[in-house]
């Protein structure tokens, strides 16, 4: 019985280790990228197009919302890059 378990152990250890490449970028990176691009587009639209004659048109809401979207996109980009770098650094260590 002991000989059978030794032969099973040898068979399990004789297989080569699977080499894995770097981890792909997480979804949060791409969400941040899309939000940043949309935020830039909203800011450009806020600068180029004239506002409709409304009560708060002077506050330029397109610029404010564009800035908010850019900040949110930057946060998601930073989170995505941090997670990506941490997972690759953890995977590189034996």
Q: 32 and 75 in contact (C-beta within 8 Å)?
A: yes
Among candidates 26, 21, 38, which has minimal Cα distance to 84? 26
CB 51 within 8 Å of CB 60: yes
Q: Where residue 54 falls among pLDDT bands split at 50, 70, 90?
A: confident
The pLDDT assigned to 93 comes to 54
Confidence of residue 88 (pLDDT cuts 50, 70, 90): confident
* In the predicted structure, residue 17 carries a pLDDT above the cut 90: no
Q: Does position 21 have pLDDT exceeding 90, yes or no?
A: no
* Residue, of 76 and 53, whose pLDDT is higher: 76
pLDDT given at position 15: 56
Q: What is the pTM of this model?
A: 0.71
Contact by Cβ (8 Å): 76, 28: yes
- DSSP for 5-72, please give it: HHHHHHHHHTSPPPP--PPPPPHHHHHHHHHHHHHHHHHHHHHHSPPPS-TTGGG-HHHHHHHHHHHH
Would you state the pLDDT for residue 89?
85
């Amino acid at each position: 019985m002991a000989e059978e378990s030794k032969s099973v152990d040898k068979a399990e250890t004789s297989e080569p280790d699977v080499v894995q490449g770097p981890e792909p970028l997480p979804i949060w990176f791409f969400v941040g990228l899309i939000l940043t691009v949309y935020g830039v587009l909203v800011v450009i639209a806020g600068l180029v197009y004239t506002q409709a004659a409304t009560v708060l048109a002077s506050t330029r809401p397109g610029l404010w919302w564009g800035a908010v979207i850019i900040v949110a996109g930057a946060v998601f980009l930073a989170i995505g890059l941090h997670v990506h770098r941490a997972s690759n650094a953890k995977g590189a260590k034996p």
